[in-house]
Chains A and B, each alone.
Chain A
Amino acid sequence: MSDFTMNADHPGLAMDRGVQGVLGAGLDRSEGALKVSGTARYGYEHLVEGEVAYGYLITAPAAKGKVTGIDTDAARALPDVLDIIVDDPRIPRQAAAFGPAHAGNDEIDHWDQVVGVAVATSFEAARAAAKAVRVHVAIEPGHFDTMADIDKASGPPKDSRLQDIAKGDIDAAMAQAAVTIDQVYTTPNHVHAAMEPHASVAIWEGDSLTLHSSLQILKVARPVLAKALGIADDKVRILSPYIGGGFGGKMLGPDAVLAAIAAQKLGRPVKIAMARRQLFHNVYRRTDTNQRIRLAATEDGKLLAVGHDSVVSQGPDGGFMEPVALGSISLYDAPVRHFSHKVVTLDMVMAGAVRAPGEAVGTLALETAMDEMAEALGRDPIDFRKLNEPKVDPMTGAPFSTRGLVACLDRGAEAFGWAKRSAQPGQVREGEWLIGMGVSAAVRINLLVDSEARVTLSPDGRARIETDMTDIGTGSYTILAQIAGEALGLPMERIDVILGDTDLPPGAGSGGSFGAASAGSSVALACEDIVATLAERMGAKAQDMTLKDGHAVAGNRRVPLAELVGDAPLVAMGKISQGSNARTFSQAAHGAQFAEVAVNAVTGEARVRRMLGVFEAGRILNAKLARSQAIGGMIWGIGYALMEEAVLDQRHGQFVNQDLGEYHVPSHADVPPLDVLFLEEIDTHANPIGVKGLGELSISGAGAAVTNAIYNACGVRVRDFPLTLDKILAGLPEM
């Protein structure tokens, strides 16, 4: 067992000495042929008609109240119906995050709450039965307006990543400074909208459950599911090898718990997929936010104060708080600093993690305010940011592990042609279209979590990597093989990667952009032990041995790995654990986002014409896949800037646009060609393999670059996201 705790930098890995040339290369996704041919099997696709019964969730048409009765007679009388389950005390109210969701269906605390499941021999029959169930609710008035209940807000929960911070007197700083910005920015509720709905197939054998599902972090999902069902953890096996998108939303859904309950009751496998419309109210959302940004500066552009104070909402079950100011805390130098959060409880589905909790919405406000301040100072927005670049973490005084913000801004400015931007808004016109450019900083805190992997080198010279780590489209299958290939000197086709099975060593799972760093480090560490054994058998020091193309070379000998392995496979475990480096160094990934936008002078429509993201995210494990993750995040930024909004009906507490036709995510036509540049800097303070998170960094700042470009195009500043054309049009001059 190669067990390493990040209390100091790792002294050096076999991977770093590798000469195989696979690490970092822009290789194709390992599982690509399975995905493009439709043969990769996602959770719901295990077992089909005849082998399995179908469940369809029954939900309540109210946001708040007591259930006075559930009328199931009509549903039970329909053909092919096996059961209507509404009386099991374990019925979960919604998706769980890190603990079991509140169970019980006697009280309704959010719209469309799950109260049971209809089970039938076909999907059509189950759906018809679920719709035939009448749920009677004594409706009570609910609370759905965050700002209306601001008086009842509480502070950050005790276990929140972010507590309130105040350094110096911000009111005094604002009163005395030569130039100030004090503005409120609002963002709406967002949903993950992964293309694959939450879905599960539950199969019992005796008292043991096998669940095929679509979950991001299996070592967390397993105990939560076991607890929800009232069984021991080791009676649950979860398989999740292919996941149709997660974005933070696939921790554990009611589909999993109810499929298990129904399969247990009926004594046969049951599958449940949540309907698209059900997902909007039964999977945690990203909260709406109300963000007050205060900036104070000297006349020559030095920041004196940064304040980022937010109001967010949460459902009655509480728990998570959107850490809106997370990225703001250490981004700019200023002696006075003020970051706070108020949490208002609403009768809505829980708020939880959506891609880049904190930075994704926090940068929309902070980086718009920075643009406003730069203009107030008469300074270029890039120069203004560079002027306020801290040398050490401005909050803790800790050194940065690496910090590439200025380099990203400079490199991006050059590549994007920033010098051509007119500082004065509304100066560039092409027919009906006004053209502008915008910039934003990008930042995302960097995390490492405990992760284990097993690597086996077989007598046939093939390597096998096993961990319950998941690949949610992030490229885990490919990058883990690249790490092992580089360390062991093996070409990609001689490495098998097995993921997404709780029978395997517990990996990091996918979330918080910690997957590649954590799971990757565990694989690299396991390879250390194998390399040590190979070196021993070569009679050489590991540092003096070269591994390439399945051979070990040391001294004058070149020996096939198969020969060195002999009859018994070499099996090694690697384990990485978080340590004091997380505190010794201030760790974050950085970047700079650039956008060129055209605003229609007649209609107010905004179209993104081109974008560039420049990122410093440590070592890049696969240039092609990293670029894909980056453009994905940047496109989410376009969505947050221009269109994404779950519109709440304040009377009933329901999202009125609860489908993909009305909740607008970016589509092909919304997205121009995008450019991505990486400024690679291996961050060995962060983890042994020197990588930092990327999937969330790339959404950070992307939206603000777009909206700052809108301002530069047409001179209209909208602080209420998303910037739909009606809001822009209201500020445009009369034709």
Chain B
Amino acid sequence: MHFTINGATHAVEPDIRASLLDVLREHLGLTGTKKGCDHGQCGACTVLVNGRRINACLTLAVMHQDDDILTIEGLGSAEHLHPLQAAFIKHDGYQCGYCTPGQICSAVGMLDEVAKGWPSHVSADLETVTLDGAEISERMSGNLCRCSAYPNIVDAIAEVAGAERA
């Protein structure tokens, strides 16, 4: 089977039991995507599949024939940072850095959901969504950070999205 990762096509023969996460990390050596729980409970493994954020530990690799997958490595590099990556550095949106690639990929997917007008649990208006700190916090709650950099993560995302923080 094959899929596209960060713009390049890969032909792989994954074990049918292998999660997309383990194929990325252990088969393709893309270790930027992290494993925190392997249970869909922490968000450390968040990647974008056809533009939507998913937990790569909760999906089997064999389900992704022809899919377009974007990981943290494809978003930007240490030399050429994506604006969100740069904002995480500026706002210190991390400490140990282990949840960070997942937070950043999740933020990319989340901002796209907002752009499409999808409401969340805290949206006051189901038609027009205004992104603010509360919306960001709510929508990012699938990404745990035990170092608890949450306020800084929200600041970083708000800055990139041009959203009011409070």
Contacts and interface: CB of A to CB of B under 8 A. Distances in A.
A661 B41 contact: yes
A244 B98 contact: yes
A657 to B, nearest CB: 11
B144 A665 contact: yes
Interface string B58-86: 00000000000001110011110100011
B153 A668 contact: yes
Nearest to B22: A123
B141 A37 contact: no
B26 interface: yes
Contacts of B17: 124, 128
B97 A242 contact: yes
Nearest to B156: A36
B39 A245 contact: no
A558 interface: no
Given A29-B89, A632-B95, A636-B148, A38 B141 contact: no
Interface in A622-653: 624-625, 627-629, 631-636
Contacts of B117: none
Interface string A1-38: 00000000000000000000000000011011111111
Measured as residues with beta carbon below 8 angstroms from the partner, the interface class of chain A is 35 or more
A615 interface: no
B79 to A, nearest CB: 8
B2 interface: no
B90 interface: yes
A500 to B, nearest CB: 13
Contact of B89 (A33, A635, A665): A33
Given A33-B78, A38-B33, A659-B37, A668 B15 contact: no
Measured as residues with beta carbon below 8 angstroms from the partner, the interface class of chain B is 35 or more
Interface in B80-109: 81, 85-86, 88-90, 92, 94-101, 104
Contacts of A244: 34, 96-99
Nearest to A244: B98
A273 B97 contact: no
A45 interface: yes
A34 B98 CA distance: 11
Contact of B38 (A275, A629, A674): A275
Interface in A43-61: 44-45, 48-49, 54
Most buried by A among B40, B148, B151, B153: B148
Interface string B37-56: 11111101000000000000
Cβ-closest 4 pairs across A and B: A38-B32, A244-B98, A35-B97, A473-B96
Interface of B: 15, 17-18, 22, 25-27, 29-42, 44, 71-73, 76-79, 81, 85-86, 88-90, 92, 94-101, 104, 133, 136-138, 140-154, 165-166
Interface of A: 28-29, 31-42, 44-45, 48-49, 54, 122-125, 128, 192-197, 242-247, 273, 275-276, 472-475, 624-625, 627-629, 631-636, 659-661, 665-669, 671-674
20 contacts: A33-B79, A33-B81, A36-B101, A36-B104, A38-B71, A49-B27, A122-B18, A194-B146, A195-B36, A244-B97, A276-B39, A474-B95, A631-B151, A632-B95, A660-B36, A667-B142, A668-B150, A668-B153, A669-B141, A673-B166
